Structure 1
């Protein structure tokens, strides 16, 4: 449930309880064990090597895992395609959740597309056949062979680890910004993880005793999530969710805390009117700032856009304020990745007086329905889900035959039980704690005839992005901000 809104920090956790067995299969019976050891953060130390080579990934996947139509063997091209797919997914998941949202009573909607996409991408690496094809399509990876997806994704994670570690060695920067991105694959220790999954997600895999000690496993995983989100997200997995039939839990955690490049003066914050609807208004705290900022206009979306950079300018917040006659719901329905690209490319800088509401939000989302509506269907159906790529194929029988059949029987019935996503966002004077027309933004020969004031006094869309890659870490709709 969304409770309240504020800006300089965001935390988010996405968890996929990836597998529960819907048809009983023979898990070895084990004696009770102590609670699993709490795994250490995968982002706590500098990366020791660059992502694996293409050849290394190619050994892991057979012809069924390669998309029709190949890109060149260029890491940069693979990365661009990966990010392009992420951009499309970010808008698609926002729109899908928006369709499921109860607009009349909802104070807003917040999510981390990058967190959700990352967990699903890990799921995709273990998917096969139709499950593979559905995930590939929704994640925007149709023209990329799977080995290249793994390589490009690890390259992207290496990039964020490198940026994080560079910022940590600079005391001035570390005081103003902190962020981390962590994935973890928790697998039932009665099963054997595929060698290739272990090879390329070595620091992100952890065996868990789900069979005889599900309560201990649940406690350890929740502790990992709480640690990775600096205590902002607790007890994400409710009691009883982990059972002896749980096979895999895929978790992703993002923590983001950054101060504004231009901080708001808290002494100037005052109560003002926010127009929730044409007939309803509320009184809330508004922050005020006058500074040189980037802004623009999208005629296609009928909105104005403001960029608020964070301290070291690696990240920024974009605020899309729709025309009063148009509304935020219309903006979300029309939004496309190309709109954001054009908006960013055609912004101007000028001295702007900003009036922005403080807001704080916490929200928990169950994503199975929205993802199903986007086209990920086999993953949730025990009759058709194929996640056999996560597990080591059984050895051939003594005659050396039926190896694949044995593997399919062992992994049959393993399906995604639920996809849970929890987000915390806080925005205040200091910063944020916590991501068939083509001519969208019209370039002009001069600056847009903008008022010098940018007053955010009605529902709006915001997103927090990486300024180098345009990756959307967080995105949200704010309808009813309050303390």
Structure 2
């Protein structure tokens, strides 16, 4: 499996996951890290019985293509090692297994060597289990990802928990001037404006008009790690829902390669968004259901033949975009410095994000790390946050 194949598979998986998340959370801000989710699910794939229906489902659902187990594992190792060099990125992958269940030697080996994750035993039925896992996550993310596991999520019947977290804080290569930020109307729905803090700037950015998508695109670079944010704004006659349905046939790498460096009048909201969700239903909607039931074939995971299935796949994400840059949990950052060209006689292009839009943070070589839909200026949680049992637990 080559870098471009891994990156393309990651992007296809991202769009595949975006669809059920949008369907179960209509008109909400969606934010998640495809790399983080795919890495954790990839660890599970390492424990699936080779040639089984479970393995086939995961290969197809996670978009691993035709690569064999070792090739997939080695490529994850290469990608994770690559991102470890990015000082503004903190990434943690965890696999918890019920105490008393001994892992298979090859499975444990691959996790430690390629996924940089040592499986941890735990008694899911204990009162301390959720606290132990949450504290581990905090320690792995500089105390920025908290309280992912709510009370009542783990039980004595739980056997396996996949959990992931990424934190990133990076500055724009071309920053916005805070004094230029003004309150403006944002149309979450046509004819129903709400006020947002709209950042303003005019400089040279990569820009493209996308007639097939009925949208325009803007690329904004970060000042570290060769990452960039791409924003895709549907035309006024189109919608974010329509754009999302077309993205599965789009390559971000191809899209960005078609961009031109232009003088652009940019207006985008300064915003914060948070999203937490248990992903088992989304995985089932992506035809990966066997791992959650009695027929799960995870024979390479344990030395014994004790039955094992996945109880929860939990993901939490947070992002803040402001004049300086971006801070995000379940995200990462990048930069390719582009400075102003000589002033052109032509009027600048316009990118005025005063309506719902799509955005992604990605690396051109290794693919998309972070995907989101911005629909509203309020900080919202998912209505389908099945990891919580009361209104006060998802903070």
Which TM class, normalised by the smaller chain length?
0.7 to 0.9
Aligned to 1:442: none
CA distance, structure 1, for counterparts of residue 43 and residue 347 of structure 2? 44
Residues 1:346 and 2:258 are matched in the alignment:
yes
Residues 361, 370 of structure 2: 8 Å contact kept: yes
Aligned to 1:37: none
Residues 1:478 and 2:374 are matched in the alignment:
yes
Trace 1:58-77 onto structure 2 (pairs within 5 A): 77=1
Residues 1:219 and 2:131 are matched in the alignment:
yes
1:140 corresponds, among 39, 59, 63, to: 63
Shift of 1:482: 4.4
2:233 corresponds, among 321, 337, 355, to: 321
Aligned to 1:198: 108
Residues 1:458 and 2:355 are matched in the alignment:
yes
Aligned to 1:154: 77
SS in 2 for 1:475: strand
CA distance, structure 2, for counterparts of residue 133 and residue 313 of structure 1? 34
- Relative to structure 1, the CA distance from residue 321 to residue 226 in structure 2 (aligned partners, 3 Å threshold; closer, same or farther) is same
Shift of 1:240: 2.8
CA distance, structure 1, for counterparts of residue 237 and residue 222 of structure 2? 31
- Relative to structure 1, the CA distance from residue 232 to residue 355 in structure 2 (aligned partners, 3 Å threshold; closer, same or farther) is same
What stretches of structure 2 of length at least 5 have no aligned partner?
332-343, 380-395
Q: Deviations over 1:391-414 (max 9, x none)?
A: 12x4xxxxxxxxxxxx2xx22xx2
Residues 79, 153 of structure 1: 8 Å contact kept: no
Residues 1:116 and 2:37 are matched in the alignment:
yes
CA distance, structure 2, for counterparts of residue 209 and residue 94 of structure 1? 31
SS in 1 for 2:323: coil
CA distance, structure 1, for counterparts of residue 372 and residue 323 of structure 2? 19
Residues 1:385 and 2:296 are matched in the alignment:
yes
CA distance, structure 1, for counterparts of residue 159 and residue 133 of structure 2? 14
Q: Greater Rg, structure 1 or structure 2?
A: 1
TM-score if structure 2 supplies the norm length?
A: 0.86
Q: Deviations over 1:210-233 (max 9, x none)?
A: 06x723332221011122233332
Pairs aligned (count): 359
What stretches of structure 1 of length at least 5 have no aligned partner?
1-76, 169-177, 395-406, 436-446
1:251 corresponds, among 147, 160, 163, to: 163
Residues 285, 482 of structure 1: 8 Å contact kept: no
CA distance, structure 1, for counterparts of residue 225 and residue 46 of structure 2? 33
2:242 corresponds, among 330, 338, 345, to: 330
Shift of 1:113: 1.2
Trace 1:146-295 onto structure 2 (pairs within 5 A): 146-161=69-84, 163-164=85-86, 168=87, 178-202=88-112, 203-210=116-123, 214-295=126-207
CA distance, structure 1, for counterparts of residue 241 and residue 254 of structure 2? 20
CA distance, structure 2, for counterparts of residue 372 and residue 183 of structure 1? 22
SS in 1 for 2:300: helix
Shift of 1:356: 0.9
CA distance, structure 1, for counterparts of residue 313 and residue 122 of structure 2? 21
Moved over 4 A (4+): none
Trace 1:94-109 onto structure 2 (pairs within 5 A): 94-103=18-27, 106=28, 108-109=29-30
Residues 276, 314 of structure 2: 8 Å contact kept: yes
1:311 corresponds, among 215, 223, 229, to: 223
Residues 92, 137 of structure 2: 8 Å contact kept: no
Q: Deviations over 1:186-242 (max 9, x none)?
A: 22230111111221222512432306x723332221011122233332111112323
CA distance, structure 2, for counterparts of residue 160 and residue 450 of structure 1? 39
Shift of 1:78: 4.0
1:424 corresponds, among 294, 297, 318, to: 318
Shift of 1:451: 4.8
Residues 297, 343 of structure 1: 8 Å contact kept: no
Residues 176, 200 of structure 2: 8 Å contact kept: yes
Shift of 1:351: 1.8
Residues 165, 316 of structure 2: 8 Å contact kept: no
Q: CA RMSD for the aligned pairs?
A: 2.0
CA distance, structure 1, for counterparts of residue 122 and residue 195 of structure 2? 51
Residues 258, 311 of structure 1: 8 Å contact kept: yes
SS in 2 for 1:415: coil
CA distance, structure 1, for counterparts of residue 260 and residue 45 of structure 2? 40
CA distance, structure 2, for counterparts of residue 462 and residue 142 of structure 1? 26
Aligned to 2:339: none
Shift of 1:279: 2.0
CA distance, structure 2, for counterparts of residue 450 and residue 248 of structure 1? 58
Greater mean deviation of Cα atoms: 340-349 or 240-249: 240-249
